[in-house]
Chain A
Amino acid sequence: DQQVKQNSPSLSVQEGRISILNCDYTNSMFDYFLWYKKYPAEGPTFLISISSIKDKNEDGRFTVFLNKSAKHLSLHIVPSQPGDSAVYFCAARSNTGNQFYFGTGTSLTVIP
C-alpha cells in the first residue's frame, strides 16, 4: 500500500518558468515531509523539507507547500534551470517508529 504518491511520472518545463511537482499522502501520522533530487547513477540528494506544523518553507528558488487537510504537498521551483533536470522524490516520515516513505518520483526536464 503506497502511502506517498506522485501521480505525475514526468514533467517538462521551459527554462525560466515555474516547475510544480505534486505529492499526495494518506497517513495522518506523517509529521515531516522532504523532497529529494536524484540524478542517474547517484543517490538521492536532500533538497528541502517541511514540518507538519507549517504550511510553507522556502529556500532560494525552492518552496514547499503543505496542505494538511488535503494531504497534499507541492514543490515549486522558480525560475527553473536546465540543471534542475532530475528525478524528484517526495518523502514523508511517520512519527511512529522513524519510518520514511517515498513516492515513485517525478522526472523533471527543463528545456533550455
Chain B
Amino acid sequence: DTAVSQTPKYLVTQMGNDKSIKCEQNLGHDTMYWYKQDSKKFLKIMFSYNNKELIINETVPNRFSPKSPDKAHLNLHINSLELGDSAVYFCASSQGTSRYEQYFGPGTRLTVT
C-alpha cells in the first residue's frame, strides 16, 4: 500500500537516449511534483502540477516534460539525455492548495553514461 511509488528505482542509459520515469500516488492528492537531487544533495523542484495548472521551474530544460494521464499519475519524460542529467529524481504529491506537506516517492537514480 505504498503511498507514492516510482519506477524504475534505477535507470542506466546512454547519452542521447529518451527515457521515462513513472510516478503513481494512491493518496487521492491533487497536486504532484518532480524534484531533482544532484550530486551536491541539492533538492530542486522541477515541476508542480495539478489538474488545473502546470508550473515549470524556469531553469528546467525543455527536454524534460511531465505527462499526467490522470490525477494519480505524473510521469517524467526526458529527451536527448545528457551526462548532467545524472541525478536522483523524486516524485511527490500533496493534498492541494491548503496543505503543503508533500509525500515523496523512494526516488529514481538515473545514470547517464
A and B physically associate:
yes
A residues touching B (Cβ–Cβ < 8 Å)? 2, 32, 34, 36, 41-46, 49, 87, 89, 93, 97-102, 104-105
Q: Are B104 and A43 in contact (CB under 8 A)?
A: yes
Closest approach, in angstroms, between the C-beta of A95 and any C-beta of chain B?
A: 11
Question: 1/0 per position for B48-84, CB-CB distance to A under 8 A?
Answer: 1000000101000000000000000000000000000
12 examples of A-B residue contacts, CB within 8 angstroms: A2-B42, A34-B102, A41-B106, A43-B107, A44-B43, A46-B102, A87-B41, A97-B55, A102-B42, A102-B43, A104-B40, A104-B42
Question: 1/0 per position for B71-113, CB-CB distance to A under 8 A?
Answer: 0000000000000000000101000010011111111000000
Interface of B, helix, strand, loop or mixed by DSSP: strand
Given A49-B100, A49-B101, residue A42 in contact with residue B106 (CB < 8 A): yes
Given A42-B107, A43-B92, A43-B104, residue A98 in contact with residue B40 (CB < 8 A): no
A49 cross-chain contacts in B, Cβ below 8 A: 100-101
Q: Which of B42, B57, B90, B101 has the most CB of A within 10 A?
A: B101
A44 cross-chain contacts in B, Cβ below 8 A: 43, 90, 102, 104
Q: Are B45 and A101 in contact (CB under 8 A)?
A: yes
A105 cross-chain contacts in B, Cβ below 8 A: 41, 43
Q: Are A43 and B90 in contact (CB under 8 A)?
A: yes
Q: Are A100 and B102 in contact (CB under 8 A)?
A: yes
Closest to B102 in A: A46
Q: Are A99 and B57 in contact (CB under 8 A)?
A: yes
Closest to B90 in A: A43
